Amino acid sequence: MSVIAFVLLTTLLGCAEVAFCQNCTLPVGLHGNWKSSNLGTVNVTSTSPSLAFSRIFSVQNVTRNDFDCVSISGDKYVLRSKHSEITFNNNPDYYLWMCMQFFRASDYSYYFYMFSMKESFYGNVRILGGTNDSATTPVSKVCGETIPASEFYTLIKSGHETTAAVDCPDALLGSFNYTFQNATGLVYCKNTINACAATTLRTHLIVNTTGFHEAFLLELRNTTMYCQLHVRGGVVRLSVQR
């Protein structure tokens, strides 16, 4: 066997082992650190791991989740975890897969969709468990779900949460009354939300928490919610800044 033939055979065997041969990198604009609406802190690089996020699920014993970009299907990126997961039928050869589609909203914000089935073991996040075998974990399975336009998630550049704010749509301008009550209908407080009431406040909402019961809605005290994205379908995503 010639040296060239040996190298070719080694390459083909390597492709079979990892299921996908196509190397891919996520868009350059995504490289860096981000705050995500569903995955915690996200880090994107041009090397391995391509994408890492801080959210840890209850069935895991890791410090963070690392994924490599292994394939591109149209405008969707297929990522596989660097390490196997033993939570699926106690099979050590199972990995986590994600299919993601990214859209740039501004220099400091993106939004994205995920196209796998929801996994109850992983907080109903759209992450698929599968082997390295492309016959049992094909792209068509990883990216097999049809997702409504309203089911998107956000990435806000770390350190630019305020910079990423955009003008709220006209429908949110003004003051609104709100009521907080529990499942039995017991009302705990009533107050107002001043939504972009002045020219200087076009990017955020101010929640008046006067009169809140100490035991309720503590997370909303002294907060401002910024409009960060306004995308197709009229959906507005708000992020809370403290």
Query: Where is average pLDDT lowest: 87-101, 125-139, 208-222?
Result: 208-222
Name the domain boundary from 112, 131, 157.
157
Residue 162 forms part of a structural domain: no
- Over residues 25-70, the pLDDT tens digits come to 999 999 999 999 999 999 999 999 999 999 999 888 889 999 999 9
* Dihedral pair phi/psi, residue 181, rounded to 5°: -140, 160
Torsion region of 88: left, alpha or beta (phi above 0 gives left; psi -120 to 50 gives alpha):
beta
Hey, which bits of 107-216 come out as E strands? Answer: 109-114, 128-130, 153-157, 174-181, 187-195, 204-207
Query: Is the distance from CB of 134 to CB of 19 less than 8 angstroms?
Result: yes
CA distances from 234 to 171, 176, 237 (A): 10, 19, 10
Q: Which residue has the higher pLDDT, 201 or 98?
A: 98
d(CA 166, CA 185): 35
Residue 184 structural domain: 170-241
- 8 A C-beta contact, residue 188 and residue 212: yes
Q: Does any domain span residue 165?
A: no
Ordered alpha helix ranges (H), the chain: 3-18, 139-142
From the list 97, 48, 46, 106, the residue with the least C-alpha distance to 76 is 97
Helix or strand holding residue 80 (H, E): strand 76-81
Enumerate residues 6+ apart whose C-beta is below 8 A from 240. Answer: 219, 220, 223, 224, 225
Tell me if 41 sits within 8 A of 34, measured CB to CB. yes
Per the structure, the count of domains in the chain is 2
Structural domain ending residue among the three candidates 157, 178, 201: 157
Same domain, 135 and 220: no
Distance CA 229, CA 242 (A): 18
- Is 164 a member of any domain? no
- Note the pLDDT of residue 144: 95
Omega before 49 within 30 of 0, i.e. cis: yes
Identify the three-state secondary structure at position 1. Answer: coil
Residues 106 and 208 in one domain: no
- Are 138 and 34 within one domain? yes
Is residue 163 domain-resident?
A: no
pTM: 0.74
Range scoring the smallest mean pLDDT among 4-8, 98-102, 153-157 = 4-8
Whether residue 227 sits in one domain with residue 174: yes
Statement to judge: residues 47 and 86 lie in one domain:
yes
| Same domain flag for 131 and 223 | no
Are 111 and 237 within 8 A, CB to CB?
Answer: yes
